[in-house]
Amino acid sequence: MPISLKKRYAITFIISVNDEEVFKGNALASPVFKTGHRHEIIAKRRFSSAALAYNQAIEEARNPVLVFMHQDVYLPEGWDKRFVEEIAFLEKQGRCGVVGCYGVAMDGNPAGHVYSNGLQRELGGIRAADQVQSLDELLLAFRKDTGLRFDPLMPHFHLFGTDICLESKRRGLKNYAISNICLHNSLRVKSLPVEYWRCAEYIRLKWQSELPVKSCCATIYPKKSRMLCLRAIARLKACRTPKQCMSGSERLTIPCQNEILE
């Protein structure tokens, strides 16, 4: 007997949590999780890296579709329905690997659709799904039966979206950014932290033959000297940028797609 569509596209949401207030005020406050929803939610706490947290959750997940998202992401009404429709369409086009809400297309341009509270602007827009070279970690998804897992040696909480996309590509799968808008209630970041550059160095050493690859924050090149130069330039720009403060404690609701573009 063929599996029903509801079971085939049932979703487990996996969230790494280190701030309960942010988690409850954003992810858990999303309309897709209102009373009566049928999604499974797995929250992981006290892990040293996103990879370790997510891999454990994969083994626990009961549903076939896995969505990994930040604790400060807010999913509007109907997001899950549109997401399932996009996944079903992409699966008809070929072997689908990792899907996200925002990333870098194969031509280097932005792909997907998200509103960033940290940047105070909309990123991407309404368009057909784009095949991508990397995805932002704010939201990633793939089927459990792809066998994909996050690299347990990948440190910290940066660039694991780029790493999993490269692993998916290595397996002959295609990765996409879809136009299904969500709100990333992030804080404004003045400069990339030391941990980001450590993750970039891990990618550089691991994926030499696949580089350069463009992530949402920086391009990762095969030569260490070039990466050191990029880091120095980023640090210099951060020193020259006036410090801006903004509150990240207030949850924002998100308008519909038509309203946000007007």
pLDDT (tens digit, 9 = 90+) per residue, 55-83? 999 999 999 999 999 999 999 999 999 99
Task: Reply yes or no: is the peptide bond before residue 212 cis, omega within 30 of 0.
Answer: yes
Protein fold of 5-189:
Spore Coat Polysaccharide Biosynthesis Protein SpsA; Chain A (3.90.550)
For residue 52, which amino acid is it?
L
- Specify the pLDDT at position 243: 47
Q: Which secondary structure element, helix H or strand E, spans residue 160, and what is its range?
A: helix 160-170
108-142: pLDDT as tens digits: 999 999 999 999 999 999 999 999 999 999 999 99
For residue 134, which amino acid is it?
S
- Specify the pLDDT at position 258: 33
Q: In the chain, what are the domain boundaries? A: 5-189, 194-240
Quote the mean pLDDT of the chain.
Answer: 90
Both tokens of 70, joined, read: 């930040």
Cα 213 to the chain's mean position, in Å?
16
Asked whether the predicted pLDDT for residue 253 surpasses 70, the reply is: no
| Confidence category of residue 36, pLDDT binned at 50, 70, 90 | confident
Backbone φ and ψ for 120, nearest 5 degrees, come out as 60, 40
Single pTM value for the model: 0.90
Instruction: Determine the Cα–Cα distance for residues 199 and 191; give it in Å rounded to an integer.
Output: 15
| Confidence category of residue 190, pLDDT binned at 50, 70, 90 | confident
